[in-house]
Chains A and B, each alone.
Chain A
Amino acid sequence: MQHGLDTYAGLSSPIHRWEPRCKFVGLMALIFAFSAVDALQLLPVMLLMTGVLYKLSRLPGSYLRQRLHYPGYFLLGAVVLLPLTTGETVLLDLGWLQIRWEGILAAIPIVVRFLCIVTLTLVLFGTSPLATTLRAMRSLGVPSLITDMMLLFYRYLYDLLARLRQVQTAMRLRGFNPTELSWRTLRMLGALTGTLLVTSYEQSEQVYQAMRLRGYGQRTAQRVMAPIQSQDAIALGVMLLLAAAFVIAQVSLSLAVP
């Protein structure tokens, strides 16, 4: 699978070796704590901590850059819009364009939170095979219906993407022009989506039969995860303490400011 989420799950690092359940709870707690941070004083600490965790994970920088590519445009929109539209204090007046201080102050926490949370998400899901993370989620109480759906979804997503490209190429070769809005275009695109649905449905029936034959749905076929080691629990405790510290610091700072 090209450019898969868990391409670098085979590397060796302290984060890779961290027990998946502890890693999931610890990093998710940190993600939520980061989403609560608004105080400018805490942002450098947040960035530093995210940087340290990414470095510890030994994931390559190109992995992060590649993943930030698309949402970067979305972020850019917000970053450009806020300083132009928010606040009273004009820092730079170019006649038709005014850059305001309050807008810059509102944009900075959004950008930093976004970067830190996305990076932590990649550390969380990029340092274990997806099947292992899903098994951890299941043993943490996520319903098996959801985790099974996730596994099958991930397994067949790239097949379907390849099929879509094939069908789109075939349509273009037959002279279909997808750039003008018309009843015909909508009907053709509807038929394209319908074909994808029908072929997936038929494939799913075969998949289900094959899975049943291999024992799917039998309790004995489910694997139990290994017990948590003390060093994994300590790392989880540290992460939970850090998350709590961020929230407490944020609350204290917001109460201190009138």
Chain B
Amino acid sequence: MHIADGFLPAPVSLLGYALTGGGLWFSLRKISKTYEDPQEHIPKTSLLTAAFFVGSLINIPVPPSSVHLLLNGMLGVLLGYYAFPAIVVGLFFQAVMFQHGGMSTLGVNAAMLGFPALLSGYLFKLRLSFGEETPRRLGVFAFAAGASAVALSTLIFFGLIVTTIPADFDADLERSATFVLMMSQIPLIFIEGVFTSILVSFLRQVKPSLIEGF
């Protein structure tokens, strides 16, 4: 779900950079207020970001083909306020090294994946206000965080596609194609939620500090 160079009008690309700038400012401000030494978490965040980048390359079989997960909800769950800068860094390298997305659309892509990741982080933290944590509750909140981030990113993606599509495009065809494409995302949203839930349960057993750290 990356918008490539050349597909968006320049004002939308600039607006994307403005939104991403705002998201970064907010995240960095929160990081400096929340953590005594923000630099302490840089190696951890960078390596986890690289691990997510690599993890998103794993093929998930969805007949008749396979898909790659976004994992932006999972980043929000594990990295908290560091998730937004982590997504900017990951997308920057996807654009310059592998040409997924692009430099002119980096702002739009980062805002599209970053803000839902921050919301997922908040959503996952909500579980702490429900008293003692059980594995089931942890799984449910992880599912909600993973699925909601992808659902929100998908909505933003299709919103952008619909509003920036060429004016000559057949309106009925556009509506039908958008509807079909959005419906096709529902299984992916579900799979992303399940995958996040499995991943959080795995980490709870193997390395609990990873889901308590941020």
Q: Tell me, yes or no, whether B89 is within 8 Å of chain A by CB.
A: yes
Q: Which residues of B contact A112 (CB under 8 A)?
A: 6
Closest-by-CB residue of A relative to B168 is: A102
Count of chain B residues near A, Cβ 8 A? 71
Q: Is A193 an interface residue (CB 8 A)?
A: yes
Query: Taking the complex as formed, is B104 at the interface, i.e. its CB lies under 8 A from any CB of chain A?
Result: yes
Task: Compute how far the CA of A145 lies from the CA of B27 in the bound complex, rounded to whole angstroms.
Answer: 11
Known: A121-B96, A198-B206. A153 touches B90 (CB 8 A): yes
Chain B contact residues: helix, strand, loop or mixed: helix
Could you tell me if A160 and B24 are in contact, using CB atoms closer than 8 angstroms? no
Judged by a CB distance under 8 angstroms, whether B80 is at the interface is no
**Interface membership of A149, Cβ < 8 A:** yes
Instruction: Map CB proximity to A onto B1-32 as digits: 1 under 8 Å, 0 otherwise.
Output: 00011111110011000000000100010010
Interface pair B51/A200, CB less than 8 Å apart: yes
CA distance A163 to B55 in the complex (A): 11
Q: Is B95 an interface residue (CB 8 A)?
A: yes
Closest A residue, CB atoms, query B105: A35
Given A121-B95, A198-B210, A161:B54 Cβ within 8 A: yes
Interface residues on chain A, number (Cβ under 8 Å): 79
Contact of B8 among A35, A189, A191 (CB under 8 A): A35
> Dominant SS at the A interface?
helix
A contact residues around B50 at 8 Å (CB): 152-153, 156-157, 160, 200
Render B99-119 as a binary contact track against A, CB cut-off 8 A, 1 for contact. 110111000000000000000
B5 CB contacts on chain A under 8 angstroms: 35, 113-114, 117-118, 121
Q: Does B43 contact A (CB under 8 A)?
A: yes
Contact at B6–A70, with CB atoms within 8 Å?
no
Does B43 lie within 8 Å of A152, measured CB to CB?
A: yes
Say yes or no: B63 contacts A146, CB within 8 Å. no
Contact with B along A139-163 (1 / 0, CB 8 A): 0000101101111111011001101
Q: Write the residues of chain B forming the contact surface with A, with a CB cutoff of 8 angstroms.
A: 4-10, 13-14, 24, 28, 31, 37-40, 42-55, 57-63, 66, 71, 78, 85-86, 88-90, 92-93, 95-100, 102-104, 166, 168-170, 173, 191, 194-195, 198-199, 202-203, 206-207, 210
